[in-house]
């Protein structure tokens, strides 16, 4: 049963074919067996999960169960969970037990979900390979010598290895979509403001967005139904009305206008990956969609702009880790400055320190206009590019990543190569738009992801476009053990 997707599990629970306790026990047993290899979880909540599963079964026996009651999921370890460590993949928060629940966590609790544990991630969500985690790299279930992508690598590996029914994740520059692409999953990054950021440890506040990693679009729709919506605790959370995301999945795609950004099919894109994407495009044509080429002329500037804005915001967001109130504190500080310097030097890893320095520099007197202000102007241009494109087409599709998963350690020497990992995904965050990645083929036995980008708050449409593809193809059902 636990190999099934979240929607199927929901139906099985409703039909009393299985209990939440049985499911939870099965998942915990598999986590016990597999996690030491994969390193997908930082914290496993055995007792809490069984307690919640018992409670869920009790609710169901009283006839009060909802669609999500009793479904075991995992949370990326940057969602605050009351009483459970929230490490953010960092030594800095290795000892941090949150006194409160993130809104996302709270809503899943309310919906009756079971929390299996907290998943590994790049430190403070900074990375594209899950190698910057204080808890060590996560392995790709498709090939343990490869990375699962990042920063939500733990959530991706956990779902891909069927160590949970679905997982929460976050995406600041591609951190949901790229791991989805590398592990053969459906990744959904909603519109900025669709899901509350309250209780989500901040990396770059204007870009961070909570989303999901699941086996299918239908699963993602079920999770978004729980997560989405206004939250008074997050001033940037939108009051745009929330759809029932499962309701519109079956709409036919006839008449859908799809745009292919020519900039996403140029130099640097692996030829076999491109072929998978072209095949997927043909599939969409068969489903009744029309295809046209579009241009996002400023997309080549997106990585540069992103690596000014995100580190700038991060440099301020991470100032609170000063060893005064919680978190890592160095041994025997001699004075305040020593405490600051050594605690932060020892508590943060290399990539986090690099970004804090880049961000601090970009905001410094005399450099602000050349970097931060200019990056914000580029951000505006990129948003305008998309807006113009969406006057002609309904959704934009292309590759999520220029290649398939790469070996652990392959890109450790050159941060810039790593930054270019997110070349197709980053612009979507800068524009605040919703994006998905869905499995669309295999190259040498490794998954390829297709990115779908829509207008602001068009999650229902994106999920519909993804679901119709998944009805017509079976790429999303492939697993490391079953590639046939």
Partner 1 sequence: MEWETVIGLEVHVQLATASKLFSGTSTEFGAEPNTQANIYDLAMPGTLPVLNKEALKMAVKFGVAIGAEISTTSVFDRKNYFYPDLPKGYQTSQLDFPIVGKGELVIDMEDGTQKTIGVTRAHMEEDAGKSLHEDYPDKTGIDLNRAGTPLLEIVSEPDLRNAKEAVAYLKKMHSIICYLTISDGDMSQGSMRCDANVSIRQKGSDELGTRTEIKNINSFRYVEKAINIEVERQIDLIEDGGRVVQETRLYDADKNETRSMRSKEVANDYRYFPEPDLLPIVIDTKYIEAIRETLPELPDVKCKRFCEQYGLSEYDALVLTSDHATAGYFEIVTAASGDPKLSANWVMGDLQAILNKDEIAINNSPVSADALAILISRIKDNTISSKIAKTVFEAMVDGEGDADSIIESKGLKQVTDTGAIEAMVDEVIANNPDQVEQYKSGKEQVIGFFVGQIMKASQGKANPGQVNKLLKEKLSN
Nearer to partner 1, 45 or 78 (CB): 78
- Of the candidates 10, 19, 20, 76, the residue annotated as catalytic is 76
Residue 108 touches partner 1, criterion: CB under 8 A: no
- Helices 459-472 and 271-286, packing angle to 10 deg: 100
Q: Are 260 and 281 within 8 A, CB to CB?
A: yes
Separation between Cα atoms, residue 85 and residue 416, nearest integer Å: 32
Give the dihedral sign, CA 90/92/97/98. Answer: negative
Among 102, 169, 430, 446, binds partner 1 (CB under 8 A): 102
Query: Is 151 marked active-site?
Result: yes
**Is residue 290 at the binding interface for partner 1, with CB under 8 A as the rule?**
no
Rounded to whole angstroms, how far apart are CA atoms 216 and 219?
5
325 binds partner 1 (CB under 8 A): yes
Q: Which stretch binds partner 1 (CB under 8 A): 36-44, 321-329, 415-423, 431-439?
A: 321-329
Min CB(368)–partner 1 separation in Å: 8
Residue 439 main-chain phi, psi, to 5 deg? -65, 135
Q: Per CB under 8 A, which of residues 235..254 are in contact with partner 1? A: 235-236
Per the listing, tokens 């979240």 go with: 6
Question: Per CB under 8 A, does 100 bind partner 1?
Answer: yes
Tracing tokens 């290899």 back to the chain, one arrives at 37
Count of Cβ atoms closer than 10 Å to residue 250 Cβ: 11
Residue 119 binds to partner 1 (criterion: CB under 8 A): no
| Residue closer to partner 1 (CB basis): 235 or 241 | 235
Per DSSP, the three-state class of 403 is: coil
Residues 6+ apart with CB under 8 A from 438: 180, 186, 187, 217, 449, 450, 452, 466, 469, 470, 475, 476
Nearer to partner 1, 32 or 338 (CB): 338
Closer to partner 1 by CB, 52 or 81: give it. 81
Among 27, 96, 245, 419, binds partner 1 (CB under 8 A): 96
Q: Which of residues 364-403 bind partner 1 (CB under 8 A)?
A: 364-365, 368, 372
Say which of 19, 133, 151, 152 is annotated catalytic.
151
Sequential DSSP letters for 206-247: TT--EEEEESSHHHHHHHHHHHBS--TT-TTS--SPPP-TTT
Residue range at the interface with partner 1 (CB under 8 A); choices 282-290, 295-303, 323-331, 389-397: 323-331
DSSP per-residue letters across 41-83: EEEE-HHHHHHHHHHHHHHHHTT---TTTT-EEEEETTB-BTT
Using CA atoms, how far apart are residues 429 and 386, in angstroms rounded to an integer?
12
Considering CB under 8 A, how many residues would be counted as binding partner 1? 44
- Min CB(3)–partner 1 separation in Å: 33
Q: Which of 75, 189, 197, 467: binder of partner 1 (CB under 8 A)?
A: 197
Q: Is 80 in the site for partner 1 (CB under 8 A)?
A: yes
Interacting residue with partner 1 among 26, 143, 272, 322 (CB under 8 A): 322
Exactly one of 90, 175, 181, 196 is catalytic; name it.
Answer: 175
- Whether 98 is catalytic is no
Only one of the segments 318-326, 382-390, 441-449, 450-458 lies at the binding site for partner 1 (rule: CB under 8 A); that segment is 318-326
* CB of 265 or CB of 340, closer to partner 1: 340
By C-alpha distance, which of 203, 187, 198 is closest to 230?
A: 198
Q: Cα–Cα distance between 415 and 308 in angstroms, integer?
A: 14
User: Per-residue string for binding with partner 1, 198-237, x by CB under 8 A?
Assistant: xxxxx-xxx-------------------------xxxxx-
Identify the residue among 93, 158, 167, 195 touching partner 1 (CB under 8 A).
Answer: 93
Residues 6+ apart with CB under 8 A from 454: 394, 395, 396, 433, 434, 435, 461, 462, 465
Q: In this complex, which beta carbon is closest to partner 1, that of residue 284 or of residue 372? A: 372
User: Helix and strand tally (H, E) in the chain?
Assistant: 15, 11
Beta-bridged to residue 382, according to DSSP, are none
Provide the 3-class DSSP secondary structure of residue 113.
coil
**Residues assigned a catalytic role:** 76, 151, 175
The footprint of partner 1 (CB under 8 A) covers 78-80, 86, 88, 93, 96, 98-100, 102, 197-202, 204-206, 232-236, 312-313, 315-316, 318-320, 322, 324-326, 336, 340, 360, 363-365, 368, 372
């Amino acid at each position: 049963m636990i190999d099934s997707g979240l929607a199927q599990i929901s139906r099985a629970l409703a039909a009393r074919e299985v209990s939440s306790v049985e499911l939870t026990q099965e998942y915990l047993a598999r986590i016990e067996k597999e996690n030491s290899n994969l390193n997908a979880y930082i914290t496993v909540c055995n007792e809490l999960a069984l307690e919640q599963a018992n409670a869920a079964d009790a609710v169901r026996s009283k006839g009060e169960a909802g669609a999500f009651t009793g479904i075991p999921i995992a949370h990326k370890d940057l969602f605050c969970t009351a009483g459970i460590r929230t490490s953010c993949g960092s030594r800095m928060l290795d000892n941090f037990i949150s006194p409160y629940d993130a809104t996302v966590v709270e809503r899943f609790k309310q919906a009756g979900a079971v929390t299996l544990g907290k998943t590994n991630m790049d430190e403070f969500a900074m990375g594209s390979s899950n190698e910057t985690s204080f808890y060590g790299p996560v392995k790709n279930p498709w090939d343990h010598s490869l990375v699962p992508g990042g920063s939500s690598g733990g959530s991706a590996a956990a779902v891909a290895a069927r160590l949970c029914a679905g997982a929460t994740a976050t995406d600041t520059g591609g951190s949901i979509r790229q791991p989805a692409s590398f592990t053969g999953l459906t990744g959904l990054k909603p519109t900025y403001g669709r899901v509350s950021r309250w209780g989500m440890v901040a990396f770059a506040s204007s870009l961070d967005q909570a989303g999901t990693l699941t086996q299918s679009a239908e699963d993602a729709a079920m999770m978004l139904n729980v997560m989405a919506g206004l939250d008074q605790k997050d001033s940037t959370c939108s009051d745009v009305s929330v759809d029932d995301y499962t309701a519109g999945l079956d709409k036919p795609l006839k008449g859908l206008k799809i745009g292919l950004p020519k900039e996403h099919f140029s130099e640097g894109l692996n030829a076999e990956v491109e072929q998978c994407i072209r095949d997927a495009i043909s599939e969409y044509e068969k489903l009744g969609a029309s295809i046209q080429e579009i241009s996002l002329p400023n997309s080549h500037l997106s990585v540069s702009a992103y690596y000014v804005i995100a580190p700038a915001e991060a440099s301020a967001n991470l100032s609170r880790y000063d060893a005064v109130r919680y978190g890592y504190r160095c041994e025997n500080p001699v004075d305040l400055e020593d405490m600051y310097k050594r605690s932060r030097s020892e508590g943060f890893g290399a990539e986090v320190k690099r970004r804090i320095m880049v961000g601090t520099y970009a905001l410094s007197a005399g450099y602000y206009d050349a970097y931060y202000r200019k990056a914000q102007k580029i951000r505006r241009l990129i948003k305008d590019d998309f807006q113009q494109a969406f006057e002609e087409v309904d959704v934009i599709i292309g590759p999520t990543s220029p290649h398939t998963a790469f070996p652990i350690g392959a890109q450790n020497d050159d941060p810039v190569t790593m930054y270019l990992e997110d070349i197709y995904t980053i612009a979507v965050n800068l524009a605040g738009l919703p994006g998905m990645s869905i499995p669309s083929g295999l190259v040498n036995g490794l998954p390829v992801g297709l990115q779908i980008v829509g207008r602001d708050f068009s999650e229902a449409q994106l999920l519909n476009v993804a679901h119709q593809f998944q009805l017509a193809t079976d790429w999303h059902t492939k697993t490391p053990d079953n590639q046939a």
